Structure formats: C-alpha cells, structure tokens
Amino acid sequence: MTHQAKVDDLLAIMARLRDPNGGCPWDLEQSFRTILPYTLEEAYEVAEAIEQDDMLGLRDELGDLLLQVVFHARMAEEQGSFDFSDVVRVICDKMIRRHPHVFSDTDLDDAGAVGANWERIKAAERAEKGKPAAAEGALAGVAQALPALVRAEKLQRRASRVGFDWDGVEGVFDKVREELDECRETLADQVEPTERVHEVGDLLFSCVNLARHMGVDAEQALRAANHRFERRFGQVEAGLRAQGLEPGPEQRDEMERQWGLAKGRER
C-alpha cells in the first residue's frame, strides 16, 4: 500500500482472506481454538522485542498481535457474536470507567490509590454481571491460561489485598528455606514421586512470593535468567571450539572454567 495504512485497511484484508469466494484456504480453515496458539506466541514475541529494546522489532510484533485481534473479531463477526468496532467500544468504555480520576471528578493522589480504586471498579463490574465478589472469592477471575509464574504472583497479590500475606520479606526468606528443606526430604527412597512434584511446586510458589516482596517481577526475572544462561553457554561452546573441543561430560571441568570466564566478562 502506498497510502497511509489505517485499521480499516487491515479489517478489509482480513475480510478478504476469510471470504469463502476466493479467500485464503488456510485462513478459512481456522477457528478461535486453532488461532489461539498464534495469539499467545505473538504476545511473547512482543515481550521479547521489548526486552531487547528492539523498536523496529516491536513495531512489527505489535502489528502481528493486532492481526490476531482482527482475526478473532472477524470470526466472531461471521458468527454474529460481535465485530471489531464492538471490541474497540468495550475497551474504550472500560478505560473511561476505570479511570474516573482522569475522565471525571474523582480525586486519587497516587498510583496505589488508583490501583485500589481499579480493583473496586472491577469488583462492581463483576457484580453487575451477576458474579458477586463475595460469592466468587478473593482469587476469582485470575486466568488459568496465564504462565504459572505470572498466575502465582497474581494469586498472591489478590490474597494480600484481603490481609493474607507476610508482614515482611524476612518471613518469606524463612519460608523459602523451609520449602527447600522439604524438597530435600523428598529424595528419600520411600517418597512418592507426586510428593516431589508438590514440594517443588511449593518451593517455586514461595520464590515467586519472595520476588514479589522484593519488588521483582518473577516472570521477567526468569526470562532474563534464561537469556543470560543462553548467552553464557554460547560463550562456553565458543571457548571449547577455539580449542578444537566439543561439549560433553568429559569436558566438564573445561566447561566450568569457560562458564566462569563468561560470567567474568559480563561483570
């Protein structure tokens, strides 16, 4: 396209792709469920572009994510449920409703007050839909499909809002040590494998709690650790190749040495 592209252009392209008369066979075969994995993948690719400070990549990935929204909206329109304009209208109404300190005369002084008011408004919205907060419980509405670390943090924050939380970070450190000891105990021969799964899960949940109390996003921290491991191990392999060696158990000592060098270079 030589003109300045608009959302309407993207909507028209998707309508053409989904047209039974001459549309794309692959696009026509898709459903909400088959497209879902692509939607999740595009969201993670947006996250990766942000983590890498890749603005051109972020531009492209945001476009891919927007395409997913348009794709889902088009399929919903075809079955008479809603269309893209309904999606936009609902989110505009929601943002105005949840920001009364911006769009009306409500006075909120800081981010904490904004967050608390946001949760009160969400609870009122659930009640209007016939889902009273008291009946649902404090943990209701945390999506099951979230990454486990993200969901753990959200569950903990929900519990914290009703007073179920540690008074300080030292108690969380103690809990992590307790869970680590319980993990070690499951190495005994007579322990059921499922018990090990449970104890490792409790340890990970406690680590998320520790991250939360330290003001760290556990999901982002682990993603960053994954990136560091990939980068450092790549340097380990490069160091081995420079000596005509290949990674393997017999090179364990040299791999450890190269790992130390890689960490030193980063410092």
Topology, domain 7-98: Helix Hairpins (1.10.287)
212-220: average pLDDT: 94
C-alpha to C-alpha distance for 189 and 168, rounded to whole angstroms: 36
Q: Are 137 and 164 in contact (CB under 8 A)?
A: no
Of 130-144, 175-189, 215-229, least confident by mean pLDDT is 130-144
Return the domain boundaries, the chain. 7-98, 220-266
Greater model confidence, 56 or 162? 56
- Residues 66-89 have pLDDT tens digits of 999 999 999 999 999 999 999 999
- Residues 152-191 have pLDDT tens digits of 999 999 999 889 999 999 999 999 999 999 999 999 878 8
pLDDT of residue 136: 67
8-25: average pLDDT: 96
Q: Share the mean pLDDT of the chain.
A: 90
- Residues 242-257 have pLDDT tens digits of 999 999 999 999 999 9
Tell me how far CA of residue 76 lies from CA of 23, 69, 86, 180, 193, in angstroms: 17, 11, 11, 48, 44
Tell me how far CA of residue 221 lies from CA of 197, 224, 227, 228, in angstroms: 22, 5, 10, 11
Q: Does 133 score more than 70 pLDDT?
A: no
- Residues 97-114 have pLDDT tens digits of 888 888 877 777 777 777
CA max distance for the chain: 71
* Tokens at 213, concatenated: 């109390």
pLDDT of residue 106: 78
Give one word for 214, left, alpha or beta, with left for phi > 0 and alpha for psi -120 to 50.
Answer: alpha
Q: Are 232 and 260 in contact (CB under 8 A)?
A: no
pLDDT of residue 166: 94
CB atoms within 10 A of CB 228: 13
Q: What is the pTM of this model?
A: 0.69
